[in-house]
Structure 1
Amino acid sequence: MLETPGPAPVPRLPPRAADPLRGPVMMHQHWDELAFLHWAVDPALAAPFVPPGTEPDVLDGVTYVGLIPFTLRGAGIGRLPAVPWLGTFLETNVRLYSRDAAGRRGVVFRSLDADRLAVVLGARTAFGLPYRFARMHRARRGDEVGWATTRPVRSRVVVRARPELVDDDGPDDVATFVTARYGLHTVRAGRTWWIANEHEEWPLRRADVLDLDDELLAAAGFPGLASRPPDHVAFSDRVTTRFALPRPLPRARDAG
């Protein structure tokens, strides 16, 4: 008697290269001068904050909470040119890492702060993303980059990017786990959706935190996290990304 094969084992790490998008491109944008600050946490702490139909993605028994300030530049609809002014703004997000029943490994945003009110309103309405309007400032001097966010909770991050890449001394599994993400899970109209994206492999440099005074992590449900240094820090100058149209996850009754 033949045995029914069980589900395929989940790879320990996501692939570092994205599959090409299927179907039309919904939007495109550049992500410039990103600092990746990550804290390892018990997956049980993240579980209440991921959408139905997903669970925290885990690496070596932990999951990660990320604080990522950057500049979103040159956003455009479909394959059209970038939208003037509205298509470029500062953003700081707090994010988690998710996996669904189909094995897709994505990002879950706990908060996204941006300094373009129209973008905030549009993203909240269209995609259910937790964008908030904030006053933001960015400054760079050489390899030192700093961001300030106020809404009224505050965040200040200053990092120094090093010249060496994160993989110079061998594979950096945490860097792959938190950055090789080709989609996001979000909830809209009471249902969980998957929005796929594609981008080139991240050019990640090592970085040091020079200053960190953050309240966004606590506001996102992780009090006390910013009181200790992050467990992993990296910096990237740019990637270019394209997003597919949202697709709903099957409801539990549909999946059965």
Structure 2
Amino acid sequence: MVAYGAEQRVRVPALQAGWLRQTFVHWPYPPDEVQVLLPEELIVDEYEGAAWVGLTPFVMADVRPPGVPALVPGLPTFAETNLRTYVRHRNGRDGLWFLSIEVAWPLMLAARAVGAPYNPGTLSVSVNGDAVSYTGSRWGGEVSYRLVVRPGEPISPTERDVWLTSRWRAYTRRLGMLWETPVEHEPWPLSRAAVDVLDETLTTAAGLPAPTAEPLVHFSQGVRHVRLGVSRPCVPTPGLYGE
């Protein structure tokens, strides 16, 4: 079972931030349609026989190096949107695999050094009454999204809610190696959410069929104490690949 709280302490973070006004939009997919997009070391993590792909726009707030408090004026705050799926390493450790990451702050592109699939673009997050709107367009204009949601009442997370939202490491691949990045933050406070508008081309740009099922949607005001650890190469486990 996926843990609701962080599975490890990130004692020396590479980066600290808050993840605010985050919406989770999830679609089920046949596992084989997702597996072909993964490196050989990772296998699709399934829930109720399906792979799940999540569109998760949010505000990346007060981005700073370790030791710098969030109250320092002028810290970068910008919109980011992830398209992600859920995986397990063949050693059993679960995590995220990012199919794409859209970002409005070009300095985040430095994470491409460990294979994070960042794409620069024009993104925005806005609040109008009880609606939260997210828009984004990748530079070049061929990939875009628009999402408008209305957050509802807070919920006590079910097992499926936890499985879809709470992951404590991300995998990337670069230079022939699989990398693992740990993350620590407080548990997500989740609410129901209704979708008013949803148009996106991120899924097809990533190599997936366009979603056909109705999405599952959650909203969170966010977590303010995110600690991203240093990315490190995954050490191959003897015998996993016929060694």
Tell me what 2:64 maps to. 76
TM-score (norm 1): 0.85
Structure 2 CA distance for aligned equivalents of residues 84 and 214 of structure 1: 34
Counterparts in 2 of 1:175-254, with a 5 A limit? 175-225=161-211, 228-230=213-215, 232-239=216-223, 240-251=225-236
Q: CA deviation at 1:254?
A: 8.0
Structure 2 CA distance for aligned equivalents of residues 143 and 186 of structure 1: 36
Q: CA deviation at 1:247?
A: 2.3
Give yes or no for the alignment of 1:158 onto 2:174.
no
TM-score (norm 2): 0.90
Using a 3 Å threshold, how does the CA distance of structure 1 residues 191 and 159 change in structure 2: closer, same or farther?
same
Moved over 4 A (4+): 82-86, 252-256
Give yes or no for the alignment of 1:130 onto 2:130.
no
Provide structure 1 residue ranges, at least 5 long, that are not aligned to the other structure.
Answer: 1-12
Work out the percentage of aligned pairs sharing the same amino acid: 33
> What is the number of residues matched between the two proteins?
236
Using a 3 Å threshold, how does the CA distance of structure 1 residues 253 and 28 change in structure 2: closer, same or farther?
same
Give yes or no for the alignment of 1:95 onto 2:81.
no
Provide structure 2 residue ranges, at least 5 long, that are not aligned to the other structure.
Answer: none
Structure 2 CA distance for aligned equivalents of residues 84 and 187 of structure 1: 35
Q: Is the 8 A contact 1:155 1:215 kept in 2?
A: yes
Structure 1 CA distance for aligned equivalents of residues 88 and 111 of structure 2: 22
Q: Is the 8 A contact 2:28 2:213 kept in 1?
A: no
Structure 2 CA distance for aligned equivalents of residues 79 and 96 of structure 1: 31
For residue 34 of structure 2, the aligned residue among 34, 37, 46 is: 46
Q: CA deviation at 1:25?
A: 1.7
SS in 2 for 1:67: strand
Structure 2 CA distance for aligned equivalents of residues 78 and 106 of structure 1: 23
Q: CA deviation at 1:129?
A: 0.6
Q: Which amino acid aligns with 1:27?
A: L
Q: CA deviation at 1:228?
A: 4.4
For residue 149 of structure 1, the aligned residue among 116, 136, 156 is: 136
Tell me what 2:5 maps to. 17
